[in-house]
A and B are shown apart, each in its own frame.
Chain A
Amino acid sequence: MISMLLGLLLAPLLAGLINRVKAFFAGRRGRPLLQLYWDLARLLRKNMVLSRTTTPVFLLGPALSLASLVTCLALLPLGGPALLFFPGDMLVLLGLLALVRFATVLAAMDTGSSFEGMGASREVAIGALAEPGMFLALAVLVVQTRVVSLSELWAHRGLDLWNSAGLVLALVAVALFLLLLAESCRIPVDDPNTHLELTMIHEVMVLDHSGPALAAIEYASSLKMWIGAVLISSLLFPFHTGSAWLDLLAGLAVVFLVTLAVGLVESTSARLSMLRVPQFVGLSSALSLLALFLVIR
């Protein structure tokens, strides 16, 4: 319960952290850490402009993605088992993430703008490559540990596992990190700061949303980032401290470290050309598949 509330509360902080890292590398002071919170508050106070071509689907998109992501948080263990857990809950998590993509794409198509259609097509193309990667990465962990729920995987992680299958876990960690970059639309795949319609992916799909709907989308994308980072921290961080509070603190620390790594990647690498992106995302599937071969022999 606490970890879920922490997620809801701290998720927008990650964006601020990444911006700070990027500013540090560029020699600037950067935006305040809490900038996204202020932005969200500002957007919530504004009115919405709705185009006459849109239907209720346009507003359903942000609402549905926000709802699915909050449900995802309930399934994620962090510093303790998740609020909800049952055999196969990782499939539900991946399904919900797919639902988020579906809702966003549908809302983008609903505007009737050709740019948004283009963004939607790119998003789906990348999603089609990222989803097998996620399934494979989780499949590797399941086959290795023989447990089938995220919270049990959280309980099974540890030094023993790293000692017996360190290479496999390292491959999975890299794959999950690449997927995190792809799924949360960070730099080698998509640039969240660009506003050139020809090259953006996620940002172009939300061009027509404004006010509270845009706030919901911004918040949802920071939740997505949070979920990706927590997945890495909760499934792969090798140490159990024994105390629930220390576990939670360690888990959070790893989440922030992963975020710093994302910021580092963003500051030191350029965006890939659109033609190379499928290869980058496909690489995560290749790594997971390699790990799977190592596990099943």
Chain B
Amino acid sequence: MTGTVDFLLVSMVLANLWVLGSSRLPSCIRALAFQGVALGLLPFALYPGHITWDLVMLALVSITLKAVVFPHLLKRALLEARVDPQVEPFVGHGVSLVVGVASLALSVALFRRHPLPIVPPSDLLMPVAVSTLLVGLFVLIARRKALTQALGYLVFENGIQAFGLGVLQHAPLMVELGILLDIFFAVFVMGITIFHIRRAFATLDTMEMAELRG
């Protein structure tokens, strides 16, 4: 199964690079959906011997949320708030790609020097998870729009979920569902907030939001 695991992990890294390199928001959203599918399938490839019903249900819910619902909500926010689909980065796309690859190199080096006390099911899983996490944080700070911040947050969250897959073979069902519900509400609220920000400030540029308004 290592071939499949590697394939899914590389898909996740490629989705990271896609988010970093793309200059259009809809394309970034598609990358996020793609990453969600790869992440949702990952547990089956990692633990082929432990496929249970609740695992399958959980994966289904997770994939539906991350590949269908979130992209749909984000696209709707994009349309309703009439956001210009240009990404407008602070850090250019070329440099962002370099940062993406560097984050992977950094995480590979990190886990080489400081191996975890537990043995993760794939030696590439932890580096990819941490690099996804870093890319999410980078997107949060290096892009101008409120919508890209939601996007960065979701990439960040994907990183956390991948990390969790390596540490815990099975998180209790309720915990996982709770996390998913949390993210769902976060995205939901962000969609509404973006709409309201647009109304109050007439812009989504976070640089303009320096003062409070009622």
Interface status of B45 (Cβ within 8 A of chain A): no
Residues of A within 8 A of B108 (CB): 293, 297
Which residue from A276, A283, A290 sits with its C-beta under 8 Å from B13? A290
Q: Verify if B101 is at the interface (C-beta below 8 Å from A).
A: yes
**What DSSP secondary structure best describes chain A's contact surface?**
helix
Given A294-B124, A297-B123, decide whether A171 and B10 contact each other with a Cβ distance below 8 A.
Answer: yes
Residues 264-297 of chain A: 1 if any B CB is under 8 Å from the residue's CB, otherwise 0? 0000000000001011001101100110011001
Give chain B residues whose Cβ lies under 8 Å from the Cβ of A297: 108, 123-124
Considering only CB atoms, which chain A residue lies closest to B6 in the complex?
A: A167
Instruction: List chain B residues, Cβ under 8 A from A166.
Output: 3
Complex Cα–Cα for A293 and B104 (A): 9
Given A278-B94, A289-B101; A167-B17 close (CB under 8 Å) = no
Cβ of B7: which chain A residues have Cβ within 8 Å of it?
A: 167
Interface residues of A in 166-191 (CB under 8 A from B): 166-167, 171
Complex-state Cα separation, A127 to B65, whole angstroms: 43
Q: Mark B79-99, 1 if CB is under 8 A from A, else 0.
A: 000000000000001100110
- Contact B10–A167 (Cβ < 8 Å): yes
Q: Map CB proximity to A onto B96-119 as digits: 1 under 8 Å, 0 otherwise.
A: 011011001100100000000000
User: Nearest CB to that of A129 among chain B residues?
Assistant: B94
**B:120-143 near A, CB below 8 Å:** 123-124, 127
B94 x A282 contact (CB < 8 A): yes
Asked if A290 and B104 make an inter-chain contact with CB atoms under 8 angstroms apart, the answer reads yes
- CB of B101 within 8 A of CB of A290, answer yes
Taking a contact as CB atoms under 8 Å apart, the answer to whether A279 and B17 are in contact is no
Determine how close the nearest CB of chain B comes to the CB of A113; give it in whole angstroms.
29
Q: Is the CB of A293 within 8 A of B97?
A: no
CB–CB A293/B105 < 8 A: yes
Contact between chains at A286 and B97 (CB < 8 Å): yes
A166 vs B2: C-alpha distance when bound (angstroms): 11
The distance in angstroms between the C-alpha atoms of A79 and B118, with both chains bound, is 48
Nearest-CB residue, chain B, relative to A286: B101
Binding site for B on A (CB under 8 A): 166-167, 171, 276, 278-279, 282-283, 285-286, 289-290, 293-294, 297
Given A171-B10, A282-B97, 9 more contacts at CB 8 Å? A276-B93, A283-B97, A286-B97, A286-B101, A290-B10, A290-B14, A293-B124, A294-B124, A297-B108
12 pairs, A vs B, C-beta closer than 8 Å: A167-B6, A276-B93, A279-B93, A279-B97, A286-B97, A286-B100, A290-B13, A290-B104, A293-B104, A293-B108, A293-B124, A297-B123
Binding site for A on B (CB under 8 A): 3, 6-7, 10, 13-14, 17, 21, 93-94, 97-98, 100-101, 104-105, 108, 123-124, 127
